[in-house]
Structure 1
Amino acid sequence: MTMKTKTTTTPVRRALLIASVAALMGGCNGSDSKDTPTEPDNMAFSAPPSDCLWVGPYVRENEGFNFAYPDSGAIYWSAAYTLPEEGAYISLEADFPYSRYMSFNSYRADTTPAQVLTDREIVPNEGSINPFVDGAVRTEPSRRYQITIKPGDANDPNQPGEPNTLNDATSSVGEQAVIIYRNYVPNNGTDRTGNVGLPRVTLHLADGSTLQGDEACAALSVGTERLSIPLVPATTYEALRANFEPARETPAFRATYGIPFIFQCDFQGNCANNPPRNTAFYANVDNQYLYSFLNQRHGDVVVIRGKIPEVPATLDGQDFFEQGELRYWSMCQNEFYSQAVKECLFDEQVTINPDGFYTIVTSLPENRPENANANCGVGYLPWPDQGDGFSIVDGKADDPDAAFLIMRHMLPATDFEQTVQNTSVAGDEASVMGEYLPKATYMKRSEFEALGCEPYTSLSYGQL
């Protein structure tokens, strides 16, 4: 692939860092070694290994866990628990994963995010480093951290923020808390946890005593079922779908302001509003989203062009972390009603054409053009299997021609302005994002194939 990445580490600084890593790592070398964490004698875990807190992984390959529009470049685990008494709290201990990004989000009962504790904000244990800080050594094996999760609202002015602390959005004993742990783009050659396992839990009781592992999970009444997402009532969706086609002949990419506005704008044609941004479905605070409804009835294939901001390259276990304009970018094909993901392409998987833009085609697999491949500079996303996924409700039929495309922007740099995060009014996407806003057009398969290899030469972004 031909992605650009921003380089901030000078040759002198890099040489010093390499020398220090060599001294710390001793005889550790090669891709297998740098992707496998070691256990220094003075860095033993205080909590025993136990995954009893976590449910998942939420990935498309795990039957029953593909919902809430997951990104196939990421892995998710949820924890639902109830603190047993006033004054109790939990702590989590782990190594930072060998990956692109990790975070902990807490959620309100309506599935909207309450707070996020992002990798770069976490202060590592003494003697460890945080590999997600710009310029950090990603291969450093001493990478331990510990965070605290307490009840309360992070937005409460009477509750001052504390380092390495996440508030779980509960207000009383007996109220269930929900947190989600995310791990994006584990290094090649590592497992889904980035070769560090899942965070280990300790329950701290009001009298100062602690419980760990399975004992802690029992006292916390940890839920063992996957999270549930409230679906739009089937009768409501069926009526809206029958009366208004949300997919436009020229695909529209809109910033997400929540499901109510999607129904108002895309299913009723009233987009003249200034809605609050209130994305639910256990969204990630660090992401903002564009979406577009598509329908095969407008054409065999959809051709999408746009620009990807500079991102840090991490997939191949690069030695240093170098923050770009954005931490992560992806485009995903989804079923709108079932919330299942079919497939995503994330930044390091996308070829950038010589004109600086990507070209992505999406279609039913049987309609895939022969020139929709990486050798011709084209990324490919297959159409979702069940269209809009309405058959998740007994007795309801899918619209097999429908699809729901989602694009993510994660953690933009403060000086990168053309990001979804800076949209604020419905309809301002083009003026804010410029060439980073995707443009799309429908074509017949034969029309796209007639463009030959390197079809982007005939598909100027400005003409879409």
Structure 2
Amino acid sequence: MSIKQGSRALRGVAGALLLGAGLAACGGQQSEETAQSPGRDSEPGHTSQDRDSYPFGVACGWEIASNIDTMNIAFPDESAKYWVALVPMLPQTRLRIDGYYPDARYFSYNVYDAILRPTDALADVEIAPDAGGGNSFADESAAYGDAYTAYVEFSPRPETPQQNTIYAGEMDLGSVAVPQYALTALFYRVYVPGEGKEFDGGVGLPLLTLETADGETELLPTANCVEPLLPTLGDALPSLGLNDLLQDVDVIDDPFLAQPGALPLGQPEASTRVFYGLPSTVFNILRDFLGLPIPDGVEFQLPLPAGGGFLSNIHNAYTTNLFSRSYGNVVMIRAKAPSYRDQPGLNFDAEQVRYWSVCQNDLPTQRYVGCVADYQAHLDEQGYFTVMVSDTADRPANAVAENAIDWLPWGPYVDALLIYRHMLPQTDFSEAIQNVPQGTPPAEVMGDYAPRSAYCQRDIVESAGDNPADIFAACRAYSDNLSRLGL
């Protein structure tokens, strides 16, 4: 059967699968900014329903959006929003994405395999505009809002990929690659929208259309949209304020919790580790829990490869520091801060990374409690950031922005997992997390840009003065003493 001959049959199958999987999900109330964004209706081949023509976020390709309260999973970032579509990979079809460059720091598309690893991605700067337009992420003179068209092909990535195309048809199992069938998750991410903008960057969400592989027949076009069905019914449900409540929870100081090693997560070293993938992460957690005598920097080689996990972003690399309440009521990391896009006084495209941040997370629930993004961080005279975490009741009086210390609440968790992100580093920024080979201690490559960690107690912090370097040195001495005692 040819593509044209099968288009009617595919149309019926596509409709059933898309609706059954919930791919048709988007809508909600439009903001003033998105109401003024241009529409696709006048453009040949890019037909769509009007925005908000369906209630509660139905009839659009995006099913789910990240949400600080109800969809705060897979270690997201507070300065970003993610939209998700579960895409059925039907034979002889592809997914077309019609979008506009948002007013934002960064956007991208990632597709994922069955074990939550990204298999391919497109960054904003890689996406060519439609004829006559410009890409504001690659060209400083281009204004945001011009149109682009991208595609998800349900086939393996070729040696020479097509422009504006990502490939979802293959899953890497180390020495072999196997076909990936049935379904892929497509993530659309936007970081740091422009001043006064919602996370869509003032242009609405991209339109998703399943079409035949030659692009001649649309099988299921979708409506323009603002907010997906899940988790807020197209923004119809009020905010729960759950994360605010969790931030304010103080864990009662308990003699049992204060016993070193009483809690299963975290070690007194709270070593800086690079995230390479699920296998090494699981092994490192078990290593800490069981107390296995394996030196830091030695990675256990599992049959399954690295490549990410937890729905990570190909354009980010991460370090982690896992702390436990058993060793101190204050924890912290400190490192030299890289420069970032839009940093005051920095020329366009002269940054070391597009974006960086530190988030306080809980390992078991994968939630973030709070984050410090690059544009929010307070640096000391040496250009270092210092991020400190404690319960509100244990916050040291000198842990304030005026002292170049950014404080985050611990939340009601036994662990504190500080995740540090580097996004899209420049090729000449050799100290980026992305450049640390597996099995190499991060500091050997990152130098001063590698986070150093410390446990502490509130009274030690307060007695160390106002200089963040002196405070960190005092807390590092406290941590070293824990390690020497074998606690």
**1:70 Cα offset (Å):** 0.7
Matches within 5 A, 1:16-165: 39=38, 44=43, 46-48=46-48, 49=50, 52-61=60-69, 63=70, 65-84=71-90, 86-133=91-138, 135-137=139-141, 140-154=143-157, 156-157=158-159, 160-165=160-165
Select between 361-370 and 256-265 the one with higher mean Cα deviation.
Answer: 256-265
- 2:36 and 2:409 map into 1 onto residues whose CA distance is 36
Letter of the 2:168 partner, please give it.
D
The 1-side partners of 2:98 and 2:263 are apart by 50
1:63-107 C-alpha deviation (Å, 9 max, x unpaired): 1x11111111111011102144x3221211111111111000011
**1:437 to partner: Cα distance:** 0.6
Helix, strand or coil at the partner of 1:162? coil
Contact 1:343 1:382 in 2 (8 A): yes
Amino acid in the other structure paired with 2:469: Y
Gaps of 5+ in 2: 1-31, 52-58, 171-177, 232-260, 478-487
TM-score, reference length from structure 2: 0.72
**Cα distance in structure 1, aligned partners of 2:392 and 2:407:** 10
RMSD across aligned C-alpha pairs, in angstroms?
3.5
1:351 aligns with 2:378: yes
**Aligned position for 1:186:** 193
Provide the residue aligned with 1:447 in structure 2. Answer: 460
The equivalences for 1:62-461 within 5 A come to: 63=70, 65-84=71-90, 86-133=91-138, 135-137=139-141, 140-154=143-157, 156-157=158-159, 160-169=160-169, 175-205=182-212, 208-211=216-219, 213-214=221-222, 245-268=264-287, 269=292, 270=294, 272-273=298-299, 275=301, 276-313=305-342, 321-385=348-412, 387=413, 401-459=414-472
User: CA, structure 1 residues 402+181, in 2 after alignment: closer, same or farther (shift >3 Å)?
Assistant: same
Distance in 2 separating the partners of 1:264 and 1:38: 48
SS in 2 for 1:120: helix
Query: Match of 2:418, as an amino acid?
Result: L
Q: Which amino acid aligns with 2:156?
A: D
Q: 1:322 to 1:257 in 2, by over 3 A?
A: closer
2 CA distance for matches of 1:367 and 1:179? Answer: 41
Q: Is the 8 A contact 2:102 2:145 kept in 1?
A: no
The 1-side partners of 2:340 and 2:221 are apart by: 37
For the residues of structure 1 that align with 2:123 and 2:86, how far apart are their CA atoms? 19
Alignment check: 8 A CA contact 1:302 1:441 kept: yes
- The structural deviation recorded for 1:243 is 9.8
AA in 2 matched with 1:95: Y
Q: Deviations over 1:223-255 (max 9, x none)?
A: 9778xxxxxxxxxxxxxxx99954222321101
Q: Which amino acid aligns with 2:85?
A: A
CA deviations 1:386-425 (Å, max 9, x no partner) are x1xxxxxxxxxxxxx3121111111111111011111113
Q: So what's the TM-score if we normalise by structure 1?
A: 0.75
Distance (Å, rounded) in 2 between the aligned partners of 1:224 and 1:244: 39
Residue identity over aligned pairs, in percent, reads: 28
Number of aligned residues: 389
Q: Give, in whole Å, the separation in 2 of the partners of 1:371 and 1:216.
A: 49
Asked whether the equivalents of residues 304 and 359 of structure 1 are also in contact (C-alpha less than 8 Å), the reply is yes
